[in-house]
Amino acid sequence: MTRYGMAALLLALVLATLYYASLHNILLFHSLVEIFRLVVAAGVFVVAYNTRHLHRNGGLVLLGVAYLHVAVLDTLHILSFHEMGVFPDYDSNLPTQLWVAARLMQNASLLLALFYFGRRTRLRGVVFSYFILTSLLIVLIFTGYFPAAYVEGAGLTPFKVASEYGVIALSPACVGLLVYRRRSMSDNVFVLLLGALAADVVASLFFMQYFRVTDDWLVVGHYAILVSYFCLYKAIVETGLRRPFDFLFHSLQQNERELRKSSGLLRSVVADALVALFATDVQGMITVLEGHNHRAMGMGPDHALGQNVLSEHVGGPFLADNVRRALAGETVTSEVQTDDGRVLYLRYSPVWEGERVAGTIGVATDITEIKQVEEEHKWESRVREALADLYPPLISTTSIDEMALAVLRHAQNLTGSEHGYVASINPVNGDMIAHTHTAMLAGDCHVVEGERRVVFPQDDDGRYGGLWGHALNTRRAFYTNNPATHESTRGLPEGHVPLRCFLSVPVLLGDHLAGQIALANSQRDYTGRDLQAVERLARFYALAIQRLRAAEALRDEHNRAQQYLDMAADIIVAIDAYETITLVNRRGCELLGYDSDGIVGKNWFDIFLPDAVRESSRERFHQMLSTGQVGASYYHENLVRDREGNEHYIFWRNTLLGQGNDTVNGVLASGTDITERKRAEEMARRVALADHTRKAEETERHRLARELHDQVGGNLSLLGIRLNILRARYGERDDELSDQIADSLDLVDQTAQSIRSIMADLRPPMLDDYGLVSTLYWHGEQFSSRTGISVQIEGDDDAPRVDAAIEVALFRIVQEALSNVARHANASKVTVRLTQSKRSLRLLIHDDGVGFDSSTLDAPDSEGGWGLLNMVERARAVNGQCRIDSRPGCGTCIVIRVPR
């Protein structure tokens, strides 16, 4: 009978025994199954614990410790049945509780073990944790704190059913982790563990169905448990003992396969990458020999395994010396070049065993490509350093001559050239201008007067001649290491240095020629790499030419725009959103008192606006920026302060500037100086006010004089009549009364005289009755009697009278003039002369007083000054002109001309 037949017969015998036991003694059946569980659990622990130092698998160790404690709970479960007599005071709930605790610990531990599979764990920590957990469960169960799982006469409790569902719920997670750890075990172990999990789920489904502990559902569930533990036995216990590489050392087996694969790959790499490899023992005998071209390492043509490299017929002195140095513990390296131009890296190293040298190993590696890459890297670094060095002048204000010089220096350094030049093309006439050059040019070029520039003119056909013009005509870079045979060679002019080699690169901006870089007489032949490097310099140089031309065009445009702005009669100022002045024209500079450098870049509001209007103007400015649109115009007036502190009224026309149609970023303001107009408006306002005041004054004077004449004068006359009547009737009877009446009459006369004097001051009656000249005579006498100053009146009293308004104005002027003389002039004589013609009247008032500076009349700051200004305004009120001439110590002369 075969081995499989014997196994089938044994399995059938076991199942028959169990079936017979289940029919006649359910407790015996249950005990047999549980004993099998105990044996398998103990076997898992024994295998995992005793092999822990070999596989170092923390998950397997955790699983073994967990099954050991599950076995403890299962042992108590077997002994807790009432029929066993061990715990006679407990009913069927006790074994069910122990069963639930063991089941939950088993499945949770399996999930945790798969999670830690392949990781390191601390055995003491795991054992202590499970000891505490198992002890706690036992204490809870025997003290009654663990939930009830079975009730006599009622069957399973909801907790028991829920716990079985919990066991089922853990199974998918276990399957997922098992699949994730698939590569850590053989296919047979993987299938057995999946079978154990599946049988365990089936058992849980049956364990939720029984009512009594003797039900058939419980029996079927134990068969499923038997299958689950059998699969676990086959997967861990039997495999761990009979085929440990399928599970315990599966990773080691995989590593071994990988090592074999890597070893083959290494041999392939050695064969492909290494020129030669050999190893010797401590006596110098060759033990390993791989690769080819061992001659580069110093071996002779008859080298072979087992030969001694220290002998002269195998290796020469070079090899023997290097191997001896390696046997002495030294690592020797060197680089050699083979006959076919390859570069080999040689390394002779000692092989150590502990603290002694057990042999040597020699390696020859072909580093030709590495050297080429290094050389290319060095070359690229030099080119990039040159380009980086050109970048600062490219973006700065460097002139084209300075930029050309920098380009020439770097081009010479990169190519090892002795001579060369860097040029630009004149966009107007096409001449090529060499901005910098070495001393190799002569003949077909000439030096520009006053500059170190050389001009290469075009030929009559518009082409550039000679070898230097070939790249410009074809617009292609080229080099030649035999210039004499080149198709464009015309020969060299007298005095020109001989050309051993020549390289030329056109500088292009799009399709247009912008310049040229030409080099000659390198210390070696030119190569394509030289041409590429100079072409890269040419692209940078093209950008420099473009920037410089654009900057020059921008400067020209700016200068033209500035000329247009300077031609404007108005002030033009540009202010950005940060209140900084970005542009100002000449008129603005003149008004503000600074040159453009003193204005551009300054804050408009802080420097050029008076304190009184600064904040309001700033607020209006930012409101325009925030609410306006690009191109919109706004108008306003405000004061501006110049360098001397003088203030000017400016009328502004503001246009909003910006990018596109949305973003406003500044204001262009055009301003007209309206200071004189403002002053004229103020003067006109004051004249109008003065004229209105004078008219009101004359009207009021006339009214007061009339009131005094009609009312007060009439009343005084009536009072005098009545007093005279009283004196005539009672004066003879009573002397005292007569005296009092006489005194009263005198007082009435004095009052009447005072009123007549006041009326004369308000508006002399004779001005209306007798005219201006008579009134001036009368007023002059009155003034002389009051002040003692002689007044001489000259005028034709019989001349025709003029308009009453003119007479009043001229009389008031004389009044004001005489008043000023009395108060300020310290004069002894005043002459008033009135002359008339058919078209005008001329009034002259002259005194011999102290005089004053008449230039101060525009800014009256005293009572006298306002009086003189009042005379001027009175003359203007009747369309006349007033001229006041005075100098200190020379008196004052006032001349008024009024049209008739």
Span 99-111, pLDDT tens digits = 888 888 988 888 8
Distance CA 588, CA 889 (A): 43
What is the assigned CATH class of domain 379-554? alpha beta
Tell me the CA distances in angstroms from 769 to 706, 750, 773, 835, one per residue in order. Answer: 14, 24, 11, 20
- Residue 449: per-residue pLDDT: 37
Task: For residues 472-490, give the mean pLDDT.
Answer: 89
398: left (phi over 0), alpha (psi -120 to 50) or beta: beta
pLDDT category at 521 given cuts 50, 70, 90 is very high
Q: Which residues contact 664 (CB under 8 A, 6 or more apart)?
A: 577, 624, 625, 626, 628, 629, 630, 656, 657, 658
Give percent of the chain with pLDDT exceeding 90: 12
- Residue 681: per-residue pLDDT: 80
Burial of 422 (0-12, 13-18, 19+ CB in 10 A): buried
Q: What are the sequence ranges of the domains in the chain? A: 37-253, 266-366, 379-554, 568-673, 766-900
pLDDT digits (tens, 9 = 90+) for 535-552: 988 888 888 888 888 878
pLDDT of 11 > 60? The answer is yes
Distance CA 464, CA 425 (A): 11
Mean of per-residue pLDDT scores for the chain: 80
Distance CA 144, CA 854 (A): 126
Which tokens hold the place of 392?
A: 């600062």
User: What's the farthest any 2 CA atoms get from each other in the chain?
Assistant: 198
- Residue 253: per-residue pLDDT: 55
Among 259-263, 351-355, 685-689, 772-776, the range scoring the smallest mean pLDDT is 259-263
Distance CA 432, CA 458 (A): 8
Pairwise pLDDT comparison (191 vs 20), residue with the higher score: 191
pLDDT of 62 > 90? The answer is no
- Spatial CA neighbour of 426 closest among 369, 386, 471, 464: 464
Number of Cβ within a 10 Å radius of residue 546:
14
Contacts 24+ apart (CB under 8 A), 763-768: 763/698, 763/701, 763/702, 763/705, 763/808, 764/811, 765/705, 765/709, 767/807, 767/808, 767/811, 768/804
Supply φ then ψ for residue 352, to 5 degrees. Answer: -95, 140
H/E segment holding residue 650: strand 647-659
Contact 772, 811 (CB under 8 A): yes
Which tokens hold the place of 636?
A: 């306003």
pLDDT of 505 > 90? The answer is yes
Please give the torsion angle defined by the CA atoms of residues 314, 319, 320 and 325, in that order, rounded to the nearest 10 degrees. -150
Tell me the CA distances in angstroms from 677 to 587, 589, 769, 869, one per residue in order. Answer: 18, 21, 43, 19
- Residue 442: per-residue pLDDT: 42
- 3-class SS at 289? strand
- Residue 100: per-residue pLDDT: 87
Distance CA 683, CA 869 (A): 11
Distance CA 795, CA 776 (A): 9
Give percent of the chain with pLDDT exceeding 70: 83
Our measurement of the distance from residue 354's CA atom to the centroid of its chain's CA atoms, rounded to an integer in Å, reads 61
Among 186-190, 258-262, 833-837, the range scoring the smallest mean pLDDT is 258-262
> Is CATH 3.30.450.20 the classification given to domain 568-673?
yes
At 254, the amino acid letter reads Q
pLDDT of 778 > 60? The answer is yes
Burial of 865 (0-12, 13-18, 19+ CB in 10 A): middle
pLDDT of 666 > 80? The answer is yes
Which tokens hold the place of 277?
A: 């490899």
- Residue 397: per-residue pLDDT: 61
Contact 842, 831 (CB under 8 A): no
Among 179-183, 663-667, 846-850, 857-861, the range scoring the smallest mean pLDDT is 857-861
- Compute and round to an integer the Cα radius of gyration of the chain: 64
Which tokens hold the place of 753?
A: 């005289």
Helix axes 58-79, 26-50, angle to 10 degrees: 160
Contact 24, 18 (CB under 8 A): no
Q: pTM here?
A: 0.39
Domain 266-366 belongs to what topology? Beta-Lactamase (3.30.450)
pLDDT of 132 > 60? The answer is yes
pLDDT category at 480 given cuts 50, 70, 90 is very high
Distance CA 774, CA 158 (A): 141
pLDDT of 437 > 70? The answer is no
Q: Which residues pair with 456 in a beta bridge?
A: 432
**Domain 766-900 CATH superfamily:** Histidine kinase-like ATPase, C-terminal domain (3.30.565.10)
- Residue 291: per-residue pLDDT: 67
pLDDT category at 710 given cuts 50, 70, 90 is low
Exposed e or buried b for every residue in 181-191, given b needs 16+ CB within 10 A?
beebbbeebbe
Q: Positive or negative CA dihedral for 726, 730, 731, 735?
A: negative
SS3 content of the chain, % helix, strand, coil (to 5): 55, 20, 25
**Are 266-366 and 568-673 in the same CATH fold?**
yes
Contact 587, 571 (CB under 8 A): yes
Q: Which residues contact 80 (CB under 8 A, 6 or more apart)?
A: 86, 87, 90, 94, 95, 98
Contact 69, 134 (CB under 8 A): yes
Exposed e or buried b for every residue in 249-258, given b needs 16+ CB within 10 A?
bbbeeeeeee
pLDDT of 131 > 80? The answer is yes
Task: For residues 767-779, give the mean pLDDT.
Answer: 84
pLDDT of 447 > 50? The answer is no
- Spatial CA neighbour of 435 closest among 456, 412, 465: 456
pLDDT category at 860 given cuts 50, 70, 90 is very low
The residue whose two tokens read 């070079």 is 318
pLDDT category at 443 given cuts 50, 70, 90 is very low
- Spatial CA neighbour of 96 closest among 140, 166, 150: 150
Pairwise pLDDT comparison (50 vs 56), residue with the higher score: 50
Domain 37-253 belongs to what topology? Rhopdopsin 7-helix transmembrane proteins (1.20.1070)
pLDDT of 660 > 80? The answer is no
- 3-class DSSP string for 402-444: HHHHHHHHHHHHHHCEEEEEEEEECCCCCCEEEEEECCCCCCC
pLDDT of 478 > 90? The answer is yes
Angle at 878 between CA 876 and CA 882, to 5 degrees: 40
Pairwise pLDDT comparison (434 vs 502), residue with the higher score: 502
H/E segment holding residue 844: strand 840-847
pLDDT digits (tens, 9 = 90+) for 171-220: 888 888 888 877 777 778 888 888 888 888 888 887 777 666 566 677 78
Our measurement of the distance from residue 168's CA atom to the centroid of its chain's CA atoms, rounded to an integer in Å, reads 59
pLDDT of 861 > 60? The answer is no
Supply φ then ψ for residue 523, to 5 degrees. Answer: -70, -10
